[in-house]
Structure 1
Amino acid sequence: MSEVIVRERYLKNGKKVYEYCFELAHEGGKRRRRTKSGFATKREARAAGRQALYEYENVGEVVVDNNISYSDFLDFWIENDCKNTCKEQTIKGYEKKIKLYIKPELGAYRIKSINKDNLQAFITDLYNDGFSVNTVTSIKGLLTKSFNFAVDRNYIPASPAVNLVIPKNKQPDRPTRFKQHIFLEKDQVDKIFERFPKGTSSFIPLKIAYHTGMRPGEVFGLIWDDIDFVNKTITVNRQVQWYAGKRTEEEKKRTNGTSESNGYWYFCEPKYKSYRTIDIDDTLLDILKEEYEKQQRACEYYDEYYSHYYSDFKVTDEILRRNTVFPQNRIGETCTEHEVNFVCRREDGSYVSSRTMQHVSRIVHMQLGITDYDTYSLRHTHGTMLVEQGADIIYVQRRLGHKNVKVTLEIYTNHVTKTIKSRNSELLNTMY
């Protein structure tokens, strides 16, 4: 390693300053040096010289401040790593868990001071406090990823978040927090469709969810190209999500504090990249055929006043499936060569978004009295009905787009409906 040399220099006005200098690698057989002057003392010049030499010897690597708090580092990680590799919805989920759970407990500590014992105690406390294993697992993943990034950027020499353990052989101190998706009985489903009949904006998305078990984002991301009327299938190629754009102070002032937003809808890959083609029953097929023909007639009737939507690129491109990070495919009314023919839309062509499901939930809670209903209730009901009828569990898993069959087994084999109980009671009697 080169040596830092400090020497005196005099400015034109006679003032004495100090300069550091060190040798660089030879280039073309010629010697090169790096110098910088203007320091008031030898100590300042030498310290700056050593810093510059260290950065040079480490190929321009910047020496970081390892006294940074874990809270500030997490902000740095989100900005410089996650926003380059993760989807918008994923980042929002990260930020929520960081804000609610990680920063309050660990954020104030210097990142270099946090050790494995601190992190293991944090994970164990979450488990004992009744958080679900899924929630604890996701928080553990955030610790692992953020500390790996800290090692990569030289904030710490090694990650303390290695081999953290979620307790499995002991009961938590408090009951596990778990929101149980409910199974809707036939009379409850009938009530929902009596309240949201054919012709209402919620009818089509509710019917699709009930007859296919698709996730809400997948339902509202459907376009007519995804429906194969001949082979009676739906292909799940994407989901739709909302990007909440940030407004400047000037924009907030202009809108006088109203909810006008810079946000927009966009297509992204299905959850867990669960691309799939699923069968549809004759009842849903007839409903969709009727809806398609209705939209064709409405488009002709409204003519130039019919709403049209477009995306940045073709939404069914096979290349999207091979990308590590699915590019955000913005949807808008500015004309491009890629028109989006949504399945869920009103008579005038305007898009029926997933926000309508918030209105549905309120009505179902307050008017119909089904207080545990949420947007996943119809998906859960569909999956349970398949199990009731004896469908193979691998068929249910692939139809619902679960990451693996274990998830399907955990959710649907633990729900004993009247039909399942009756069928198995008959089976029990035939055994003897």
Structure 2
Amino acid sequence: FCHALNEAMYNDKNANPPVRTRRDNGAGSITLRKDGRWMGSIQYGYKADGKPKRITVYGKTQQEAKRKLREKSEEFVKNDGNIILAKSIKDWFSEWLYKELKYTLKPKSFDAKERTINKFIIPNFGYIQINQLTSKDVQALINKMVKQGYSLSQIDKVRSTIAQKYRLGMQNNEVTINPALNAKLPASLKAEVEAKQVLALSEEEVKKLTEQAYKTYPNGTKVYSRGEFIVFLLNTGLRLGEAAALTWDDVDFDNHTITVNKSYVQALNRDKNNINPQTQKPYAYTMILQKSPKTTRSTRVIPLNKEAQRALKGLWDCNKKYELVCANENGKPNVSSNLNRSLKYMLKQAGISTSYSVHSLRHTFATQLFRNHVDIEIISQLLGHADTTITYNTYIHIIQAEKIEAVGSLDFVK
């Protein structure tokens, strides 16, 4: 090697061929160029056309080139014999979020994924290289979120998002391990969730709320503009977004059924030209119509009971000039904040606890079906759940109560 260096120093530099020194496998190579500089090179995979991807460094001396190459080599990780350029978690997750998920997820799902990555994953792990994240790091973040009072649902979103990206990374030979697999969710929070019951109105409360919804002033004017909408939700079990998107051509008046095949979701307003006419500023959120259902079983036909038919007639009288069945006074879809505000006021006026929300109306519908001993498969289909497991897990406390009542009915000796 010294002989080659001496030749490079004393002979005509344009007449000398490059001198290459071999290093350890995967450590790259060092070459003396014709111009007298040393060049270090390392390969880290292949381009789409099959040509190798390389990182190249230069130095005035062999030692300088070695040093620069060693520094670059520290950014790489060996995986199945390939040399892979390590990225920071910030770059890796951001690229995945905005170049892939943005075009594959529905708007509301993308909002949730973006919030999880930008609020929790990047601030805590952003500048760690992707191959250096460990199970201990992920567990430490979970423990930190528990202390900060985050819900089990939010903590699990963080863990599952990390697991999902690393699973894809392993498939693409970008990383060798999935650090989220051994991270554990706190048992204390699991117990809280299992003990937490869904809020559903009692039969007496349903009667009071229904009476309140139809109240009128002495001149016959309705007290509550959204009264029929709330009764309609209470008797159909629709998600708010599904009811908001319902159009009159989805209603079969002859057979007393409605067809659910689309939904409105409230998502971040990413169109800065979507301006609020009152404030002349971009909306923070916007309503987006999704024509594809939430699950494969979300598209469904729901029969209407007499109370739902009565509410639908009231909605027709008010909204027949609009396309939407449950339109607001401007013909636009109702948003959750306005409807929840109306419901809270109605509950208060009826002397009912204001702890209930619009989603409680859906739970009430399901609970009444269980108490009337309707088969869980039918209930699951009416609710549009992906499968009966979701229905079972959501209403386990109701199911257990029904079991106790059923067994009690077998007491032969009274």
Per the shorter chain, which TM-score range?
A: 0.5 to 0.7
Distance 2:225 2:285 in 1: 24
> Do structure 1's residue 344 and structure 2's residue 326 form an aligned pair?
yes
Counterpart of 2:176, as a letter, is A
Aligned partners of 1:245 and 1:263 also within 8 Å: yes
The offset of 1:383, in angstroms, is 0.5
Q: 1:76 aligns with which of 95, 103, 106?
A: 95
User: 108-117 or 64-73, which moves further after superposition?
Assistant: 64-73
Matched with 2:109 is 90
CA contact (8 A) 2:267 2:286 kept: yes
Aligned residue runs from structure 1 range 184-333, under 5 A: 184-197=201-214, 199=222, 200-246=224-270, 258=281, 260=283, 263-273=286-296, 274-292=298-316, 294-296=318-320, 299=321
> More displaced, 216-225 or 368-377?
368-377
The answer to whether residue 126 in structure 2 is matched with residue 107 in structure 1 is: yes
Q: What amino acid maps onto 1:172 in structure 2?
A: S
Contact 1:68–1:111, Cα closer than 8 Å, also in 2: yes
SS of equivalent residue, structure 1 residue 381: helix
Deviates more, 1:87-96 or 1:131-140: 131-140
Q: Which runs of 5+ in 2 are unaligned?
A: 1-13, 19-34, 56-74, 77-84, 216-221
Distance 1:231 1:431 in 2: 46
Report deviation, 1:285: 1.9
The one-character-per-residue Cα deviations of 1:327-380 (angstroms, maximum 9, x if unpaired) are: xxxxxxxxxxxxxx2101246645434442232254257665624212210101
The unaligned stretches of length 5 or more in structure 1 are 1-15, 21-39, 300-307, 309-340
C-alpha distance after superposition, 1:90-125 (max 9, x if no partner): 011112223444344433422221134433565577
RMSD: 4.4
Instruction: Give a deviation string over 1:24-55, Cα, whole Å, max 9, x none.
Output: xxxxxxxxxxxxxxxx9845xx46x8779965
2:341 matched to 1:359? yes
Equivalence for 2:377: 394
Q: Distance in 2 between matches of 1:218 and 1:173?
A: 31
AA partner of residue 343 (structure 1): V
Contact 1:128/1:172, CA 8 A, preserved across alignment: no
Distance change (3 Å), C-alpha of 1:173 and 1:428:
same
Separation in structure 2 between the aligned mates of residue 288 and residue 62 of structure 1, nearest angstrom? 67
> Which residue identity is paired with 2:231?
K
**Cα offset for 1:245?**
2.5
Q: Percent identity of the aligned residues?
A: 22
- Compared CA separation, residues 105 and 50, structure 1 to 2 (3 A): closer
Aligned partners of 1:135 and 1:201: how far apart in 2?
35
Equivalent-residue separation in structure 2 for 1:355 and 1:378 (angstroms): 15
Question: CA shift at 1:223, angstroms?
Answer: 0.9
* Higher relative contact order structure (alpha carbons within 8 Å, sequence separation ≥ 6): 1
Secondary structure at 2:409's aligned position in 1? helix
Q: Quick one: distance in 1 between partners of 2:282 and 2:376?
A: 45
- Output the CA distance in 1 between the equivalents of 2:45 and 2:394: 59
Q: Is the 8 A contact 2:229 2:315 kept in 1?
A: no
Shift of 1:227: 1.5
Return the letter of the residue paired with 2:198: H
Structure 1 residues 416 and 395: CA distance shift in structure 2, 3 A: closer
The TM-score, its normalising length taken from structure 1, stands at: 0.64
Aligned residues: 346
Q: Secondary structure at the match of 2:128?
A: coil
Note the C-alpha offset of 1:416: 7.8
Deviates more, 1:110-119 or 1:53-62: 53-62
In structure 2, do the counterparts of structure 1 residues 53 and 293 end up closer, same or farther at CA, with 3 Å as the change threshold?
closer
For 2:253, give the aligned amino acid. Answer: F
Larger radius of gyration: 2
d(CA) in 2 for partners of 1:270, 1:425: 39
